[in-house]
A and B are shown apart, each in its own frame.
Chain A
Amino acid sequence: MTTGTRDISDAGRAGRDEALMGETSEGAQELKPRSLTSPDQLGRESGAVLRLPEGPVLDPTSLDVERPDDETMIINMGPQHPSTHGVLRLMLELDGEFVLRTKPVIGYLHTGMEKQAEELTYVQGATNVTRMDYLSPIINELAFSLAVEQLLGVEIPSRATWIRMLMSELNRVSSHLVWMATNGMDVGSTSMMIYGLREREMILAFYEKTAGLRMNLNYVRPGGVAADLPDGWEDDVEVICDTIEARTYEYDDLLTGQPIFHQRMEGVGTLAAEEALALGLTGPLLRSTGVPWDLRRAMPYLYYDQVDFDVIVGTYGDNFDRYAIRLNEIRESIRIVRQCVQRMPDGDYRTQDAKVTPPPRGRIDSSMEALIHHFKLFTEGFKVPVGETYCAVESPRGELGMYLVSDGDSKPFRLHVRGPSFVNLQAVPLLMRGGLMSDTITVISTVDPVMGEVDR
């Protein structure tokens, strides 16, 4: 495999541990037949990942380990399967119609975004992170901006903070609407797919009006937001809120009470709270098990401590709970959006700290210094003091964390993204264990991985 220029010298290679050289053998990432798998490993792959004293433990020895390979079948699902929400590849071991083992194989969309982030300035960084979780770009930018601002120590004007909240809640609605749409399609309700994407279109149109782009906006930037809200934005947001809120009750009629939908969702892919905690799951997956953990409430950022909203929790941790949580979170987000509209103060939409904010467009024409400053800011960027920080926000999929290390330069020294989808994907083998082949579709759907964020 050719990789362009490589700076690894041969001298550096010699004498290094073989494991460190890092090639793993062919097929190492794949699910192997039973005859090549140790009982311990088999137990783990069957979803018995939990060794915690308080967790429900599946004894690996109680598994049917002796079963010959020719009784079961290992098949690939994906990476080009339409219901895998991107390029997720699952290797399934099947016994007839039942799933015995599952292994997600990822990396098909890996584009080295963390490495790229080290090559881009902090000004450019938001355009990079916004492409990770492409269904909630604003929230990616927000996490990145909060981390940079924490290192910089700049204060953000209150209007900018309220705008950020407004936009991220709209983003949460649009992300959940896409989920409603794709989930509808996965269970065979194609009309739901059209409705979900139709409603999301309203939010994307508002984004376009505000930021000029529909997705990957680069709207939230270190120091504030890129542009003020457009004239008449209150009316636009009001229409969005009223329409989508009314439509969520139509979704209730379409899906929530429908017997076929219930049969596909209820009791399928159940998860216990201990399992969710041990696996590090966050977001709707964790809340479906009854743990009321939402960073907006538990560890408020922005002004989430000043708005009124409910954290939706489930009881059984099954697919239906995760559906109900997302549907109700749309309503809660609309509640927050309405409060943002009411309480939106006047003022600046970005900090007046000239270090991070370019001069206004008008001054560039008249002032040479402003022109130079503008040029320097967008070519060199601003320098961020040495330090490291971890900033986490609640994305529609769970805790989105950014671990940012700065070396005092204008580019991040290291940016690590804790993608909620990446971690949540580990629940798939557990959720799938013993289920039907057809349940894999709904399980993947309710785990809701965005592969752009999983692979980064």
Chain B
Amino acid sequence: MTFPTSVGLGGERVSFVPREQYKDTVRALRDDGYEMCVDVCAVDYLGHPGRELPDGVAPERFEVVCNLLSLSRKERTRLRVQVPETDCRVASLFELYPGTEAMEREAFDLMGVVFEGHPDLTRILMPEDWEGHPLRKDYGVGRVPVQFKEAPGPR
């Protein structure tokens, strides 16, 4: 399987994997010696003026970023998966790396990406009855209104 790749600033390989082949790619990489999944996170690119993507990769609003580490080869690799806003789902890596359980829950909780096949996809950091996903760009930062002297109402 070959995907568009680029080289990260730390010298690591960055692959842009289609969503459908995400899990298979990670499985192949795991069998290839990437023993550890260091990090899974999601990025909301809403409002981003334009990221550099190689040819053949259509930008979508969300991106799931997975950092793998090979201890034997002392190498890192990063997978960036484009996830559309309308169908915000991606396969869970839990079967391959059980350690992604908490990371995927965090990404679901804060960014609202659904990881299919995750055994316990519940909120992890926010309260259970919280509405919305705070790290999304269209989720405003809460603020405490400050009353300035003789100011015409809240700003």
Asked if chains A and B come from one complex, the reply is yes
Contact across chains for B110 and A114 when beta carbons are under 8 A apart? yes
Instruction: Give chain B residues whose Cβ lies under 8 Å from the Cβ of A405.
Output: 43, 48
Chain B residues with CB below 8 A from A28, complex form? 122-123, 128
Task: Return the chain A residue nearest B131 by Cβ.
Answer: A23
Beyond A49-B98, A389-B8, A390-B8, whether A22 also contacts B132 by CB under 8 A is: yes
Asked whether any CB of chain B lies closer than 8 Å to the CB of A110, the reply is yes
B148 within 8 A of A: no
Cβ contact within 8 Å between B8 and A41: no
- Does B141 lie within 8 Å of A281, measured CB to CB? no
Is B119 interfacial (CB 8 A cutoff)? yes
Q: Check A261 for interface membership: any CB of B closer than 8 A.
A: no
A426 near B99: Cβ-Cβ < 8 Å: yes
Query: Separation in Å of the B109 CB from the closest CB of chain A?
Result: 8
CA–CA, A107 to B125, complex, Å? 4
Contacts of A1 in B (CB 8 A): 127, 129-130
**CB 8 Å contact bits of A1-34 with B (1 = contact, 0 = none):** 1011111100010000101111111111100000
Could you tell me the distance between the alpha carbons of A392 and B71 in the complex, rounded to whole angstroms? 14
Q: Is B142 an interface residue (CB 8 A)?
A: yes
By the criterion CB–CB under 8 Å, are B99 and A110 in contact?
no
B60 within 8 A of A: no
Interface residues of B in 90-121 (CB under 8 A from A): 95, 97-103, 106, 108-110, 112, 114, 119-120
B144 within 8 A of A: yes
SS of B interface (majority):
loop
Known: A1-B130, A416-B41, A455-B125. A280 touches B71 (CB 8 A): no
Neighbouring B residues of A3 by C-beta, 8 Å: 130-131, 142
In the assembled complex, the Cα of A155 lies from the Cα of B145 at a distance in Å of: 42
Q: Are B127 and A418 in contact (CB under 8 A)?
A: no
Cβ–Cβ < 8 Å partners of A116 in chain B: 141
Distance to closest chain B CB from A113 (angstroms)? 11
Among A194-202, A252-260, A371-379, A406-414, the stretch in contact with B? A406-414
B13 is an interface residue with CB less than 8 A from chain A: no
Q: Verify B128–A26 contact, CB threshold 8 A.
A: yes
Judged by a CB distance under 8 angstroms, whether B29 is at the interface is no
Interface size on B, residues (CB 8 A): 62
Contact B133 A22 (CB under 8 A): yes
Closest to A116 in B: B141
Residues in B with CB closer than 8 Å to A414 are 43-44, 135
Chain A neighbourhood of B98, CB < 8 A? 49-51, 278-279, 426
Whether A299 is near chain B, meaning CB under 8 Å from some CB there, is: yes
Q: Which residues of B contact A407 (CB under 8 A)?
A: 47-49
Contacts of A360 in B (CB 8 A): none
Known A-B contacts A1-B130, A299-B74; A106 and B123 likewise in contact (beta carbons under 8 Å): no
> How many residues of A are in contact with the other chain, CB < 8 A?
69
Contact mask for chain A residues 392-427; partner B; CB cutoff 8 A; 1 contact, 0 none: 100000010101010110000110101000110110
Residues of A within 8 A of B140 (CB): 4-7
User: In the bound complex, what is the Cα–Cα distance between A120 and B119 (angstroms)?
Assistant: 35
A112 vs B126: C-alpha distance when bound (angstroms) = 9
Contacts of B142 in A (CB 8 A): 3-5
Q: Give Cα distance in the complex from A426 to B123, angstroms.
A: 15
- CB-based contact B114/A115 at 8 Å: no
B52: A residues at CB distance < 8 A: 386-387
**CB pair B114 A20 closer than 8 Å:** yes
**Cα distance A26–B127 when bound, in Å?**
9
Q: Is A422 within 8 A of B102, CB to CB?
A: yes
Interface string of B8-22 (1 = CB under 8 A from A): 111010000000000
Q: How near does chain A come to B131, taking the closest CB pair, in angstroms?
A: 6
- CB proximity of B72 to chain A, nearest CB, Å: 10
Q: Chain A residues near B125: list those with CB within 8 A.
A: 106-107, 110, 455-456
Q: Tell whether, in the assembled complex, residue A386 and residue B128 are in contact, meaning their CB atoms are under 8 Å apart.
A: no
By a CB distance below 8 angstroms, the chain A residues around B138 are 7-8, 12
Given A22-B112, A414-B43, A106:B38 Cβ within 8 A:
no
A119 at the interface (CB under 8 A from B): yes
* Residue contact B65 to A403, C-beta cutoff 8 Å: yes
Output the least CB separation between A324 and chain B (Å): 22
Whether the pair B39, A29 counts as a contact (CB closer than 8 A) is: no
A391 to B99, CA, bound (A): 20
The interface residues of chain B lying within 8 Å CB-to-CB of A150 are: 9-10
The answer to whether B10 and A389 touch across the interface, beta carbons within 8 angstroms, is yes
A399 to B98, CA, bound (A): 17
A-B contact pairs, 11 of them (CB 8 A): A4-B142, A150-B9, A278-B97, A280-B100, A299-B76, A390-B78, A401-B67, A403-B39, A405-B43, A416-B41, A423-B99
Sorted nearest first, the 6 A-B pairs with minimum C-beta distance are A280-B99, A4-B142, A7-B140, A279-B99, A49-B98, A28-B122
Known: A4-B140, A423-B102. 16 other contacts (CB 8 A): A3-B142, A8-B132, A20-B112, A22-B112, A23-B129, A24-B122, A29-B123, A49-B98, A107-B126, A280-B97, A281-B99, A386-B49, A388-B65, A390-B12, A414-B43, A414-B44
Name A's B-contacting residues (CB within 8 A): 1, 3-8, 12, 17, 19-29, 40-41, 44, 49-51, 106-107, 110, 112, 114-116, 119, 150-151, 277-282, 291, 293, 298-299, 386-392, 399, 401, 403, 405, 407-408, 413-414, 416, 418, 422-423, 425-426, 455-456
